[in-house]
Chains A and B, each alone.
Chain A
Amino acid sequence: MERHVIAKTSEIPPGTRKLVEVKGRQIVLINTDGEYFALLNRCPHQGGSLFHGDLIGLTESTEPGCYKYSRRGEMLRCAWHGWEFDIRTGQSWCDRRTRVRTYRTAVEDGAALEKGPYVAERFNVTVEDEYVLIEV
């Protein structure tokens, strides 16, 4: 596993997402309120786009007619068939055995990292901005 720089933190403000490519893989990078999550942009069901899906909260219920809402912005619905995926674990809500490939993300000070073009093969140090990098 290698770590790759994929974007500047300033490119992905909270509540937004970006589609990037790392080592031939399309990856959805999400900033939820300052926390970053990265998922392979391919729904394990039939290959649909996750990047275009809605980011919604989790609605649960034990009583018909009652809707218990939590985890705003942490469930990504596939743009095609609407399957809900927990962005923290990649797990499908309905079918716990199904997971989207997730990637660990970390935000690091640019000093430790290579500057752009966002597919780093090795580390160079820069101290200009905060960079986001991932392990692949």
Chain B
Amino acid sequence: MSAVDQTEVAQRLPSGIERGAIDCDIHPALSSTKELRPFLDEHWQEMLAVRNIDGLDLTSFPPKADLFSRPDWRPKQGKPGSEIGAVKADVLDHFDLKFAIANCLYGAQAAYNEYIGEVLCRAINDWLSKEWLDKDKRLRASIVVSLANPEAAAEEIERVAADRRFVQVLVLAMGEALLGRKQFWPIYRVAERLNLPIGIHAGSTYRHAHSQAGFHSHLVEDYVVQSQGFTAQVLSLIAEGVFAKFPGLRVVLIESGVTWMPALMWRATKNWRGARIEIPWVRQAPAAIMREHFRLTLQPFDAPPDPADFERLMEHFGTDEMFLFSTDYPHWHFDGDDVLPAGMPASLVRKILVDNPLKTYPRLVEAS
């Protein structure tokens, strides 16, 4: 990477950073369920073929849409993100990363049958380990689980977390029940004990419509209403007392956008002052809980590209600790290398690229 001009420091990744940036959201892709075959037992290998269990791409992320496949990151054949050589060149080497956290969005966790969900998630975790983590020391990964059986999910987390290259538990933003519910607490119990954040990634399992409006017509609206979906999850985790019960738990909101959150902080705190009697285990203002327990990945940075707006947004957030650098590769959120928002001061670059991710993912510190 070329030497960096001082005036461009906020737009390009400074190559002089000591330890390299940490990309908290990249997407390795399964070309097909067949790739999971080696990680399945005989019965499931057979079922895959006999029942033609395949094509489990989430409709939330149509692989051919430009938004999910930046043209210069699109391979000549196959899905973007499916080939490790390309991932190394396009992102690990290109951005001079110290680490990148792989979030696999293959939709096994959306399967209605709990056993298919569990078995395929298990296979995905093993595939990530062998086909990705083993092949590049910079890669880390999130443990994929199905929420259909939270006890089984907790066991899977325990199993996979023995490999310390797994740094997070991954769930989708729109599921069958709100994530604060007690039924999911076995997952938070084990995640807290193992010091793994819960990563909530944009996307829907279609157990309900994308919003309380119902099923809208356009894909673009799927994306727009993700922020309301994330809002409901944040409120649920707080209101149900997940952080009262698991004070060490951290949650990372991945690919959520950022502009929706300050309004939530203010309004949730305002409501709490009057409605505290309903949730007396919430003993701090919700805004304070959000600052302490929640983090957001940088992309998509959906604020207007005006430096003054960036500054104001940071002031409204009231902290610079919440943001974690991400490219969201191979989704198309920025052109060229313009991954950092306009107006981000140089003083914040290292914090967002390195310090905040290291604090959020303690397992990364072990390796560095």
Contact = CB atoms under 8 A, between A and B. Distances in A.
Interface of A: 45, 56, 59-68, 81-84, 92-95
Contact of B244 (A56, A63, A67, A94): A63
A63 B277 CA distance: 14
A96 B281 CA distance: 17
B244 A62 contact: yes
B272 to A, nearest CB: 7
Given A61-B280, A62-B244, A82-B273, 9 more contacts: A59-B280, A60-B283, A63-B281, A64-B245, A64-B281, A67-B280, A81-B273, A84-B277, A94-B273
Contacts of A82: 273-275, 277
Contact of A94 (B182, B242, B272): B272
Contacts of B273: 45, 81-83, 92, 94-95
A93 B284 CA distance: 11
A86 to B, nearest CB: 13
Given A62-B244, A64-B241, A64-B244, A83 B274 contact: yes
Interface SS of chain B: helix
A64 B236 CA distance: 13
Contacts of B293: none
Interface string B263-298: 000000000111111001101010000000000000
B235 to A, nearest CB: 14
A94 to B, nearest CB: 5
B281 A59 contact: no
B192 interface: no
B240 interface: yes
A81 B274 contact: yes
Contact of B280 (A60, A81, A83): A60
B285 A59 contact: no
Contacts of A83: 273-274
Contacts of B242: 64
Contacts of A93: 276
A94 B241 contact: no
Contacts of A59: 277, 280
A80 to B, nearest CB: 8
A114 B187 CA distance: 69
A62 B281 contact: yes
Contacts of A65: 241, 281
A66 B281 CA distance: 8
A68 B182 CA distance: 20
Contact of B240 (A64, A67, A92): A64
A101 B182 CA distance: 41
Interface in B275-332: 275-277, 280-281, 283, 285
A103 B275 CA distance: 27
Contacts of A63: 241, 244-245, 281
Residue from B240, B272, B283, B285 with most neighbouring chain A CB atoms (10 Å): B283
A81 B271 CA distance: 9
Residue from A56, A62, A67 with most neighbouring chain B CB atoms (10 Å): A62
A100 to B, nearest CB: 14
Contacts of A62: 244, 281, 283
Residue from A64, A66, A94 with most neighbouring chain B CB atoms (10 Å): A64
Contacts of B241: 61, 63-65
Residue from A62, A66, A83, A94 with most neighbouring chain B CB atoms (10 Å): A94
